[in-house]
Amino acid sequence: MRRAFLALLLVVAAQGCATVEVTPLTTAAPTAERPSYARGHRWIRSDGLWELTAATDEGYVFTRADLATLFLTRDLFPARVHVYQTPHDPGRPDDRLDFAPSPRIAWPLTVGKRGSSKGTWTSDFDEIGRFRNPAGHEYTRNMRFRTSAEATLTWVVEAWEEVRVPAGRFEAFKLSFTVTADDPAARKSAPAWSLRMWYAPVIRQIVAAEGRAQRGGRADGRRDRPCVRGPRRRARGGQRERRGSRAS
């Protein structure tokens, strides 16, 4: 299964930073007002060049050369992320993460600020099945499932930290998000999702993100750490829709 790019800087097939390296700061955090961007704005990240291709009242659409797409709300929440199994083939997303309606993050950011919201959590995942045809020959099929469940998203501004990335060192707010299906039975198929991202007020950008999904109490392999040409951490049931393609 390909990795999903969880945030911009997340959720998109990323081969980002090895780890996120941060150091707690004892200095007082500044007031971080919500940023705004114009079309053509670019973020050069460890997983490629992302360009702002659309800006609406609802948020921003960042696109990569292989058509991977990140949808951020005006509050910089990663509302959706789409990547494609075949580059330049917009037939259908290879991975999809979607929480709707998108939560509101209360700006300006201050350490300790938090919130929660209810919504529908949608996620795609793959499973390999083995079958036999009428002639008795065994074959495998890569099956795509889409799960959807009512869920609760919580967020908190956890800390004010120094983040070290290839582009340099940045003082940043660490925000943490978690999504959990409300119905315990749905948690077997709908993944619990967690995301940490670091927002640097000086450059008005998310400089790093780290996410993980767990399905049925176990990690499903999604763990992504894209960053601005860098952060390494130092120190311290739902409804299913099946789609698949046959392979010999």
pLDDT digits (tens, 9 = 90+) for 120-138: 988 776 677 888 888 888 9
What are the E-state strand segments in the chain? 22-24, 42-45, 48-55, 59-63, 69-73, 78-84, 93-100, 114-132, 138-165, 168-181, 192-200, 205-215, 218-224, 239-247
In the chain, the percentage of residues whose pLDDT exceeds 70 is: 71
Averaged over 51-69, what is the pLDDT? Answer: 91
* The pLDDT of residue 226: 57
The answer to whether 128 and 140 have CB atoms below 8 angstroms apart is yes
Put residue 134 in one of left, alpha, beta given phi > 0 → left and psi -120 to 50 → alpha.
Answer: alpha
| Gap between the Cα atoms of 77 and 179, Å rounded | 13
**Residue 238 tokens, joined:** 């739902």
pLDDT digits 0-9 by tens, 74-85: 999 988 777 765
Structure-model confidence comparison of residues 248 and 154, the more confident one: 154
* The pLDDT of residue 10: 35
pLDDT band at 176 (very low <50, low <70, confident <90, very high): very high
- For residue 50, which of 22, 27, 16, 91 has the smallest C-alpha distance? 16
* The pLDDT of residue 194: 87
Residue 102, number of CB atoms within 10 A of its CB: 21
* The pLDDT of residue 55: 95
Task: Say which CATH class 22-247 falls into.
Answer: mainly beta
| Gap between the Cα atoms of 191 and 218, Å rounded | 9
| Gap between the Cα atoms of 136 and 115, Å rounded | 56
* The pLDDT of residue 192: 79
Domain ranges of the chain: 22-247
Distance from the Cα of residue 111 to its chain's centroid:
22
Distance from the Cα of residue 29 to its chain's centroid:
25
